[in-house]
Structures are given as structure tokens and as C-alpha cells.
């Protein structure tokens, strides 16, 4: 398995981002709608954080009441993305190798990091599961 392959080969590309003031309920709905585990948080064209589905679920009860998800969504309306996000995450460029990114994620003790292009625009996220699945191919 070639560990020097650029991360661009396996990154989950998504242009979905949120603002620091967005309600967690809105962030959670976006994650569900687009089947995302992580979303970068952008403030005036700058990445200021990343928020994961696990970050959000740790806030709530982690389960539905009689199939009703609205109980947690109501609680999520009280919080904003900047109150829950991991601030100032390490940014990964598309030409970084799989090995480099695995080492960064391990050293940063993160589950995922935002991926940017040469113009510093968000192109998606990469997480430890993406890397493990790639290495297991």
C-alpha cells in the first residue's frame, strides 16, 4: 500500500460549511441531510473550527424519545457552532500524503481535519476512518 499517495485521492469532498453563529440544530440537520460526520466552520472566508457529529451528540442524550428527535433538536437550538467546535484546527492541503495526514491526526488527537486547496478554500474533510479504509484496501 502506497502511503505517499496524496490525500486528494481519498478526501470526502464537500462544500458544506457553517458559520460560528449557526445554531447546532441547523448544523446537525446539515450533517444528516448531506450524510456528513464533520463540517468546517468558516468566519469571513477563514476556517476557524471544525465540528463533528460526535461533538454534537455528546451534548444530548444520544438517543430518541419514542422516535422523536425533536427533543434534542430543541436543546441544540440553544447553542451555536462556536460554542461546540474544535477551534483553529490544523489545515490539510490536497497534496499532503496519506502518511502525513495520519501522523497529523494522531499528533493533534483529532478525529478529522479540514482539507483546503491551493487557494485555501475548503474542499472537504478527512478523518481517521477514511485513512483506515484506504489502508485496508
pLDDT digits (tens, 9 = 90+) for 63-87: 454 555 555 566 777 889 999 999 9
- With beta carbons less than 8 A apart as the criterion, state whether 90 and 96 touch: no
The percentage of residues in the chain with a pLDDT greater than 70, rounded to a whole number, is 87
- pLDDT(3) > 80: no
> Residue 12's pLDDT band (boundaries 50, 70, 90)?
confident
pLDDT at 109: 81
Task: Report the alpha-carbon distance of residue 56 to residue 87 in Å, rounded.
Answer: 15
Each residue's pLDDT tens digit, 14-26: 889 999 999 998 9
Residue 119's SS3 state is coil
User: Which CATH code of 1.20.1250.20, 3.40.250.10, 3.10.580.10, 3.65.10.10 fits the domain covering 7-136?
Assistant: 3.10.580.10
Task: Report the alpha-carbon distance of residue 10 to residue 115 in Å, rounded.
Answer: 11
The grid coordinates listed for 100 are: 502525513
- pLDDT(33) > 80: yes
CB-CB neighbours of 6 under 10 Å: 15
pLDDT at 62: 52
Q: What is the pTM of this model?
A: 0.84
pLDDT at 137: 80
Amino acid at each position: 500500500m502506497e502511503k505517499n499517495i496524496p490525500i486528494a485521492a481519498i478526501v470526502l469532498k464537500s462544500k458544506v460549511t457553517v458559520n460560528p453563529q449557526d445554531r447546532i440544530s441547523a448544523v446537525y440537520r446539515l450533517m444528516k441531510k448531506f450524510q456528513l460526520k464533520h463540517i468546517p466552520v468558516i468566519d469571513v472566508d477563514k476556517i476557524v473550527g471544525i465540528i463533528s457529529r460526535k461533538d454534537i451528540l455528546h451534548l444530548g442524550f444520544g438517543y430518541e424519545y419514542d422516535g422523536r428527535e425533536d427533543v434534542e433538536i430543541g436543546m441544540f437550538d440553544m447553542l451555536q457552532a462556536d460554542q461546540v467546535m474544535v477551534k483553529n484546527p490544523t489545515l490539510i492541503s490536497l497534496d499532503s500524503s496519506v502518511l502525513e495526514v495520519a501522523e497529523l491526526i494522531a499528533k493533534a488527537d483529532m478525529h478529522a481535519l479540514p482539507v483546503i486547496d491551493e487557494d485555501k478554500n475548503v474542499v472537504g474533510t478527512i478523518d481517521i476512518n477514511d485513512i483506515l479504509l484506504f489502508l485496508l484496501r
